[in-house]
Structure 1
């Protein structure tokens, strides 16, 4: 075999996705080549894989940014629709293609100042000496009409689009 054919052998191995590490090791061990050539081809393969990983990570980041952008745009559009319906006093509206229903969803618990949250709404054991605010307990208290210093409920009104 000449050098070109050996490089082709490595290329064939690199193009296979079905090789587990044990089979890959056995396949590489079976290639009769001097150590320097074998390691050079493996280093080239490693460089190629690194480039592919970097490319995929860049694409992943780009897709994540695009998804975030579209989620934010969707929130804004639904908020706008809700405001238009609420301003007109309309609870439900049928359009040519959709049924729009403005409705209240579970309110969000907003912590304004963690230092003002009473001890009964904190979990000191969770973080060994530090505390964690128990938002679910605060939500239940606020929902039942109790006052909790440092926290309030934020209404969550949106439109369901069918």
Structure 2
């Protein structure tokens, strides 16, 4: 029986007058135990999913840090290799497995001090954002606002 079916069965049994009080109590207890067991299972699944989400969030953070480490290591090794080949005064080096050719790419733009840059190089960007608190307050007061509405937000706490 599904949870909503159990709730409906409880409501139907409570409304009946032709059931003996002892039978009514036993039936209600049985249905409530079934419902409670199913809800307990749902709460257990939610707790497991919450733990999995926390684990994955931490794993993503660790993997991001590892990626940054390896990216920095790769960049430093490439820079070192290029400096060694340039210092040797050759255009390319052929090893057993690779042909290494330093080359020029587009130069990097480095901004050492933003405050010293002339206004010519500054760009003003206008950012528009929604004041959700004001919107909520007005909707709560009953103001009709096109493009927005309040939606119930009910959840069950698991302790």
Task: Report the TM-score range of the alignment, normalised by the length of the smaller protein.
Answer: 0.5 to 0.7
Cα pair distance change 1:105/1:29, threshold 3 Å: farther
| 1:75 lines up with 2:80 in the alignment | no
Residue 37 of structure 1 is matched in structure 2 by 37
Residue 88 of structure 1 is matched in structure 2 by 88
For the aligned residue pairs, the C-alpha RMSD in angstroms reads 2.4
SS in 1 for 2:55: helix
More helix by share: 2
Residue 107 of structure 1 is matched in structure 2 by 107
Q: Could you list the per-position Cα deviations for residues 1-42 of structure 1 after superposition, in whole angstroms to 9, with x for gaps in the alignment?
A: xxxxx9xxxxxxxxxxxxxxxxxxxx7646896332222211
**Structure 1, unpaired ranges of 5+:** 1-5, 7-26, 129-162
Structure (1 or 2) with the larger CA radius of gyration? 2
**Structure 2, unpaired ranges of 5+:** 8-30, 128-159
Count of residue pairs the alignment pairs up: 102
Question: 2-side partners of 1:96 and 1:31: how far apart?
Answer: 74
Deviates more, 1:47-56 or 1:59-68: 59-68
Question: 2-side partners of 1:49 and 1:119: how far apart?
Answer: 52
SS in 1 for 2:44: helix
Deviates more, 1:63-72 or 1:96-105: 63-72
Q: Could you list the per-position Cα deviations for residues 83-128 of structure 1 after superposition, in whole angstroms to 9, with x for gaps in the alignment?
A: 100111112111110010111111111112222211221112x146
Normalised by the length of structure 1, the TM-score is 0.55
Q: Which portions of structure 1, spanning 4 or more consecutive aligned residues, are displaced by more than 4 angstroms?
A: 27-33
SS in 1 for 2:36: helix
Q: Which has the higher contact order (CA 8 A, sep 6+)?
A: 1
Residue 132 of structure 1 is matched in structure 2 by none
Equivalent residues in 2 for 1:147-158, closer than 5 Å = none
More strand by share: 1
